[in-house]
Amino acid sequence: MPGFADNLGYAVAGMALLLALWWLGGRLVESDPDLFAFADFAPGPALARLGDMLASGETFDMTWPSLYRIAWGMVWAIAIGVPLGIIVGWFAPARKLTNIPFQFLRMISPLSWMPIAVMAFATWDGAIVFLIGIAAVWPILFSTAAGLRRVDPAWFKVARNLGARPWHMLLTIILPAISQDILTGIRLAVGVAWIVLVPAEYLGVTSGLGYAINDARDTLEYDRLAATVVIIGVIGFCLDFLCQQAIARLSWHRDD
Q: How confident is the model at residue 100 (pLDDT cuts 50, 70, 90)?
A: very high
Q: Which pLDDT value is given to residue 251?
A: 58
Position 256 confidence tier, pLDDT thresholds 50, 70, 90: very low
Up-side HSE of residue 230: CA atoms within 13 Å toward CB?
24
Residue 67 pLDDT class (50, 70, 90 cuts):
very high
If one compares 249 and 184, the residue with the highest pLDDT of the two is 184
Average pLDDT over residues 3-9: 70
Q: Where in the chain is the domain with CATH 1.10.3720.10?
A: 55-250
Model pLDDT, residue 72:
95
Mean pLDDT of 175-192: 90
In this predicted structure, what is the pLDDT of residue 1?
A: 60
Looking at residue 25, its pLDDT comes to 80
Instruction: Write the DSSP string, the chain.
Output: -HHHHHHHHHHHHHHHHHHHHHHHHHHHHHH-TTTGGGGGGSHHHHHHHHHHHHHHTHHHHHHHHHHHHHHHHHHHHHHHHHHHHHHHHH-HHHHHHHHHHHHHHHTS-GGGGHHHHHHH-SSHHHHHHHHHHHHHHHHHHHHHHHHHHTS-HHHHHHHHHTT--HHHIIIIIIHHHTHHHHHHHHHHHHHHHHHHHHHHTTSS-S-SHHHHHHHHHHTT-HHHHHHHHHHHHHHHHHHHHHHHHHHHHHSS----
pLDDT digits (tens, 9 = 90+) for 105-131: 999 988 889 888 888 888 888 999 999
Please tell me the number of Cα atoms within 13 Å of 67 on its side-chain side.
12
Superfamily covering domain 55-250: MetI-like (1.10.3720.10)
